[in-house]
Amino acid sequence: MSSFFSLRTLFAGLACAMALTLAACGEAEFRGSDISGTKLGAETAMVDDGGQARTLADYRGKVLVVFFGFTQCPDVCPTSMSQLAHAMELLGDDAGKVQVLMISVDPERDTPEVLSSYVKTFDPSFVGLTGTPEQLATTAKSFRAHYAKVPGATPDDYTMDHGSSFYILDQSGEARVLLRGDAPAEDVVHDVRELL
């Protein structure tokens, strides 16, 4: 009788230990909004700043940080890109496991060459994505990202209205976190590390 109770106690203890271990290794705790399961970005098909056609599958194995912007943006974009560059510095050796992608909402002016020069000013590892207006429309819709052309005094004198969130995708290309574009670099680093 006592050996039965000893085995039962042992199994109960092992079950508790396993439950605690699983709880400790459970869901990631993000500082941004958890968007797991939304499939955001799945229809991404753009052209990189080297002229190569790209989908998110090309970046499998890396955590992706995606930002929509444009090179002639006066304030939001350079501030956000600077924050991402600072995040890469804070990641140290882990920075090599992360890819920052800036998707241009202004394909008319942001050619691959212009975009490459812009993003690499912030960090040589950053990649810019551009494409046709149709490619942008499909990709932005896939991310549920807002953008709109705002006319100026002349046809060439326009700006772009756009959302400024950071989308963080895991190493399999699944959207996992949505952070505000003015989130501190430390928050970006925290959520990226949750996915490494």
Which pLDDT belongs to residue 26?
Answer: 54
Q: pLDDT of 9-67, one tens digit each?
A: 434 443 444 444 333 445 789 999 999 999 999 999 999 988 999 999 999 999 999 99
- Both structure tokens of 99: 């890819």
| Average pLDDT score over residue span 65-91 | 96
Task: Give dist(CA 49, CA 122) in Å, integer.
Answer: 14
Which pLDDT belongs to residue 114?
Answer: 96
Q: Is the pLDDT of residue 6 over 50?
A: no
pTM for this model (two decimals): 0.85
CATH 3.40.309.10 fits 30-194, yes or no: no
Q: pLDDT of 114-145, one tens digit each?
A: 999 999 999 999 999 999 999 999 999 999 99
Q: Is the pLDDT of residue 97 over 90?
A: yes
Which pLDDT belongs to residue 36?
Answer: 97
Question: What beta strand segments (E) does 88-192 contain?
Answer: 98-104, 127-130, 147-150, 159-162, 166-169, 175-179
**Average pLDDT over all residues of the chain:** 89
Which pLDDT belongs to residue 113?
Answer: 95
- Domain boundary assignment for the chain: 30-194
List the one residue out of 189, 192, 66, 41 whose CA is nearest residue 128. 66
